[in-house]
Structure 1
Amino acid sequence: MASQSKRPVRLTARDREALIRLITTGVHPTSSIRRAQVLLDLDTSVGEPDPEEVIAARLGVSGEMLRLVAKRFAETGGDALPTVSRRKRDLPPVPSPVTGEVEARLVALACSSATRPSAGF
């Protein structure tokens, strides 16, 4: 109940239609569908939503998930589709430790002929 009073979710008719379309048509990631269902259930524009415990049990998610989706909705300025989609990475991925020089040595080693061990090991 805390997230409903601190961060109420108010969806426009267009947002509701877009979320329903996302849930019912096409192939989408499960996490996006689940977040869309959470937003639709937390929506206060169509009336008083059920208590969070009831919503969490119905959707099979935790109360923390409800809180995080409501928080993300507030962070995106009340825009529903960015709320349900994946976040863009803030930092670029870690560069590979294999540089061109290391790769060239590895290829040379792989392409070289095998050496035979001495007979007196």
Structure 2
Amino acid sequence: MDRVIYSADMIIERLKADKSPTTKKEAPSNILFDFIDKYVEEHKATTREAGSLTVYRTLKKHLQGYQQDTNRKVTFDKIDYSFFQSFQNYLLSLTSKLTGYQCLCSTIPQLQNS
């Protein structure tokens, strides 16, 4: 075989290693969202304007919507230019849906008056 002379201690250590279960470390999926929550919470009573904290909360909601609609987990390590373009397109699609909805809402009362 490999012509290595094994000692009793080497064999015992190998057997212990084989018997000990390996723990699979799960990647935290909400670490980005937790970070945003923590940031907002820590800055409520400080120098941040309430409006800027609202921007962070809104960003979190949009990121969660993006994650749900695209089935892509949003994590710090996945944020790159490709993600940015995809997220930007997602936001633009929301805007066009909202614009269409707003247009429809303003058109319906006009139709009812005619």
Which range, TM-score by smaller chain? under 0.3
Higher relative CO (Cα under 8 Å, sequence separation at least 6) belongs to 1
Superposition TM-score, scaled by structure 1 size:
0.25
Structure with max Cα Rg: 2
- Higher normalized helix content (fraction of residues): 2
